[in-house]
């Protein structure tokens, strides 16, 4: 399995042509395309932006509490750059 990470601007005609690296063999393949728009926030994201109620936010916070120590570790800041 090969992974290609590309950052590009989608043209107006919405067509993208990719030249694959030579290590990817010709033949049958499954290709997964994930399009994640690059968004620049001018303010912090709010739970209402997600359509969440205060109750849902509380439930999700409780579910993720086990990750808080790792999440708050300064070494995790490297993931903010991704």
pLDDT score at 56: 93
Is 79:72 a contact under the CB 8 Å cutoff?
A: no
Residue 82, pLDDT above cutoff 70: no
C-alpha pair distances (Å), 5 with each of 8, 20, 32, 55, 73: 10, 12, 12, 36, 26
Supply the pTM of this predicted model.
Answer: 0.40
What does the pLDDT look like over 61-78, one tens digit per residue?
A: 999 999 888 888 888 888
What does the pLDDT look like over 3-50, one tens digit per residue?
A: 888 888 888 999 999 888 899 999 999 988 888 877 777 888 888 888
């Amino acid at each position: 399995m090969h992974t290609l990470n590309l950052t590009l601007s989608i043209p107006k005609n919405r067509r993208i042509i990719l030249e694959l690296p030579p290590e990817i063999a010709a033949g049958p393949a499954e290709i997964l395309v994930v399009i994640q728009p690059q968004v620049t926030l001018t303010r912090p994201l709010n739970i209402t932006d997600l359509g969440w109620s205060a109750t849902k936010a509380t439930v999700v916070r409780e579910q993720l509490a086990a990750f808080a120590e790792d999440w708050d570790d300064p070494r995790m800041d490297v993931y903010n750059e991704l």
